[in-house]
Amino acid sequence: MADGCLALGELYQACSVYGGTDPSTGEQGSLTFARLTWDKRLPPDLLDKVLPAPTLPVPGIDWLDDVPQDLTRALRSFLIGWYADVPMPPAPPPRAAMTLPPPLLAFHDIAAGREELLGRQDFIEPLDEIEYLEDEPLVVFAAENQGVWVASIDPTDDDPVVWYDGGPERLRERERLSGFLLQFALNEAVNTSPFSGFATITPEVLDRFVEDLVPVPLQPMRVPGDPTRHWVAPGLVAMAADYGESGIWLSVGSRQRSALRPLRSRLDWEHFNG
């Protein structure tokens, strides 16, 4: 630091990669990579000293006003604000090989040139890869990253029902496509944010945690847990997925670390880098 060295605590080797094993002697190769971390969390005052969070503009939540009457406009406002730091290179307008519902075409129009918006955890299919299910009048337009589910719609409907395939039976999502796309974007905002937190909690703890947050006025999603609900604050999205006996998995995400700082003492986080 400016006034000298500052002790942060003891480190331990959390992950190691070696160059391989000599097949003739069995001797392990040389160390090529090691990840070091602290055995204890840094106290908040020490963390603030060595890793201060810059105060940056954060996206607002005015888009919530559009949710009751225009979900596509709400989606556009949310994505533009949340990914304001992601460059938007010139890109030709996406083209579909078939007629598709307006909300899906609008999502691709917003994401044009920025593939990150199509998802990194789960993903929305590129327009030119959307295909009909075999022997059915439905098309697959989204998928879970490990193939747990795929989501399909009737492409002839202006705002169709969303169906999940992957379990013992086909499951209907509560919101139609326009609502699903906004919820999908909120999930991705949480799961792919550079600054995030995670904890397994009870319903009572969740109720206290979200007292200062604004609920997104949509019906709960069925994935990743049923129900999955969302809350927001400026620069912040929170997602609570109910896994029954395994508890409620609460995740929070932000693209600005300062937006998470007020939450760091609210829970005993299993992971938190705000």
The strand pairing partners of 240, in sequence order, are: 229, 250
- pLDDT tier, 198 (very low <50, low <70, confident <90, very high otherwise): very high
* DSSP notation for 3-70: TS------EEEEEEEE--B-TTT--B--EEEEEEEESSPPPHHHHHHHS---------SGGGGGTTT-
Please report the pLDDT score of residue 20 as a whole number.
Answer: 75
What pLDDT, in 10s, does the model give residues 21-50?
777 777 878 888 998 988 887 887 888 888
Please report the pLDDT score of residue 55 as a whole number.
Answer: 80
Mean pLDDT of 57-80: 97
What residues does each domain of the chain span? 11-50, 62-272
Please report the pLDDT score of residue 52 as a whole number.
Answer: 84
What pLDDT, in 10s, does the model give residues 150-169?
999 999 999 999 999 988 89
Mean pLDDT of 241-246: 96
Please report the pLDDT score of residue 26 as a whole number.
Answer: 74
User: Does the pLDDT value for residue 94 go beyond 80?
Assistant: no
Please report the pLDDT score of residue 274 as a whole number.
Answer: 80
What pLDDT, in 10s, does the model give residues 109-121?
999 888 889 999 9
- pLDDT tier, 183 (very low <50, low <70, confident <90, very high otherwise): very high
DSSP category for residue 149 = -
How far is CA 44 from each of CA 53, 61, 71, 238, 250, rounded to the nearest angstrom?
A: 12, 28, 39, 22, 21
Please report the pLDDT score of residue 38 as a whole number.
Answer: 83
User: Does the pLDDT value for residue 194 go beyond 80?
Assistant: yes
Please report the pLDDT score of residue 229 as a whole number.
Answer: 98
The proportion of the chain whose per-residue pLDDT surpasses 70, expressed as a percent, equals 100
Determine the longest span between alpha carbons in the chain, in angstroms: 72
Is the distance from CB of 57 to CB of 259 less than 8 angstroms?
no
Please report the pLDDT score of residue 89 as a whole number.
Answer: 83
Least confident of 91-95, 184-188, 204-208: 91-95
Please report the pLDDT score of residue 206 as a whole number.
Answer: 97
Among all chains, which residue has been given the structure tokens 């069995």?
26
Q: At what angle do helices 71-82 and 177-191 cross, to 10 degrees?
A: 20
Please state the pTM of the whole predicted model.
Answer: 0.86
